[in-house]
Each structure stands twice: as structure tokens, then as C-alpha cells.
Amino acid sequence: MVVVHGAGPQISAELRRRGIPVEFVGGRRVTSPAALAVVRESLVAVGAEASAALGPAALPLLGNEIGLEARPLSGLGLVGEPVPSRPAAIEEALAARRIPVVAPIAVGPLNVNADEAAGALAVGLGADRIVFVSDVPGVFVDGAWADRIEAARADSLIAAGAFDGGIVPKLLAAVRAARVGVRAEIGATEVLG
């Protein structure tokens, strides 16, 4: 098992406390150099908390230090879109029966969305399954929570603007993973390739 975590609420609260603007575009945080420092600090703190909760087998890792790659995205500052990666540090941790707990900062450093980082790692590592844990029970489509959604339908709904906020990067990452054979679930909704 590999855990990829975010720190969205903690980052936003600390940015506001420091008077740094909080702005999102398409579910991604616009990230200035000052904001990136806050992102890193918050991710380190959340990674330590998650690792402590998981126990001694947990191993906190910063994505940029283990080779998580991303393509820079224009117009968002120091933000990237993660690409499938197979970091040796994760493989070594898994071989040693550890639980990698990965903070989503890519080489650059670039801030990357945790859901997209999880999807890129699932594809790169050849995972059997990816589960997106959220405070919502799944994907809401046509007035109901969907048991499953086809990747093509998800793409068309995203393009039509049917979703906004944090579900967009989750759904995009799930679709990418499902298309290459990784079983992808967002809450109780299975995304089919």
C-alpha cells in the first residue's frame, strides 16, 4: 500500500494567516514561491501525522526528493501535472514491507494535486487498485450517487462543466488510472476504463 496525502485545509488556513492569497483554478491551487513554502511545511506536518497514525511501518516521503515528476502548468505559478512515476524509494520501501506516505510535491519543486499524484503513482507503479478517500460518498451524477461511471462519460461531463472543485482532479486521476487497467474508486463509485 502507498498512501498519498494532501493538506488542503491546513495549507489554506496557513496562507490566510500569513496574508497570502488563496486561489484555485480547476481544482488546482495557484502557487507562488511564498505559497509553495507553506505548501511544503503543511505537507510535512500532515505526512508526519499520517505516518504516526499508521504506525512504525509508515515512511513519510516528499515527492520531489524521491523523483515524482510533473509537467509545469502555465498560469498557475509553481504548479505541475504529475506524470506516471515509479520512484525507487517507493519500491524499496514496499520491498522492506514499509508503507510509503507520499507528500505531493514534484521535482522542480512544483505543487501537484494529491489526487493526481496518487493516480500518476498508481499508473507508474502498476498498482492493481487506487482508492480516493473523500468526505463525499462518491460521484454525484444525474441527481444521484453513481455506483459506477464510464471513463468516456466522466470525460464528457467534466468537459461540459458538470463538476467543480475537488471532485474534478479526483475524477481525472481515476479516469487516467482506469484507462490503463487500474481498478479506480472514488468513495463508492467505481470508474470504468
User: Structural domains in the chain?
Assistant: 1-127 (3.40.1160.10), 128-193 (no CATH)
Give pTM, 2 decimals. 0.93
User: How do the pLDDT tens digits run along the chain, 193 residues long?
Assistant: 999 999 999 999 999 999 999 998 877 899 999 999 999 999 999 999 999 999 999 999 999 999 999 999 999 999 999 999 999 999 999 999 999 999 999 999 999 999 999 999 999 999 999 999 988 889 999 899 999 999 999 999 999 999 887 888 899 999 999 999 999 999 999 999 8
Q: Which residue from 9, 21, 24, 113 is spatially nearest to 76, judged by alpha carbons?
A: 24
